[in-house]
Amino acid sequence: MSHIGRATEADKRTLRREFLAVRNRLTADDVREAAAALAGRALELPELAHARTVAAYVSVGSEPGTLALLDALRERGVRVLLPALLPDNDLDWGAYAGEGSLARIQHGGKMALFEPAGERLGPEAVTAADVVLLPGLAVDARGMRLGRGGGSYDRVLARLERADAHPALVVLLYDSEVVGHVPEEPHDRPVHAVVTPSGVRRFT
């Protein structure tokens, strides 16, 4: 890795700590209110209005909440795919069938995740999605996303590219996480839009 690559990765680690520290100060009420607003904003997205299949995720801890949005999409008849973390940090997928269909899975020393309890559809299932909702910690004015650093969604984006699949890429964040600039590496890909509790911002 070049000196620039190392510097970028160090910058990202510092930024991740800063954004996570702010999230960790949120109360349960803050998270709940933001989740309701976020679902309302996201459901106004034309991309989601026309989507048949959406790849999403179940928020954990102080992440911007997704459950209200997942349930609303399901009620619309949308097929919602949720990730299951594989040992190599890649993602398998399963269909969401309501909150009762989730299993709490502890992955080693990492945080416990809520994953679909039913049939696994394979890592390629994401290529059928019309919209991919991405977790993140920040996005900048160009649409460059700062992820958590596990690399799972870098693999998803690379898989979509290989399959020549072009879903709308949407990141769900808090208002304060839309920033002027985040460091990028050559493999990073911009998203098409960010949804926050106060609205939607698109990137060309």
Closest CA to 55 of 128, 119, 114, 120: 128
Q: Would the annotation count 150 as a binding residue?
A: yes
Q: Would the annotation count 14 as a binding residue?
A: yes
**What is the CATH T-level fold of the domain 3-202, as seen in this structure?**
Rossmann fold (3.40.50)
In this structure, are strands 102-105 and 113-116 parallel, antiparallel, or unpaired? antiparallel
Supply the pTM of this predicted model: 0.92
Q: Would the annotation count 153 as a binding residue?
A: yes
Q: Would the annotation count 152 as a binding residue?
A: yes
Q: Would the annotation count 25 as a binding residue?
A: no
Q: Would the annotation count 147 as a binding residue?
A: yes
Strands (E), 35-188: 53-55, 79-85, 91-95, 102-105, 113-116, 131-134, 138-139, 145-146, 168-172
Domain ranges of the chain: 3-202
Q: Would the annotation count 15 as a binding residue?
A: yes
Per-residue pLDDT of the chain (204 residues; tens, 9 = 90+): 444 556 688 889 999 999 999 999 999 999 999 999 999 999 999 999 899 999 999 998 899 999 999 999 999 999 999 999 999 999 999 999 988 899 999 887 767 889 999 899 999 999 999 999 999 999 999 999 999 888 899 999 999 999 999 999 999 999 999 999 998 888 788 999 999 999 999 997
DSSP at 165: -
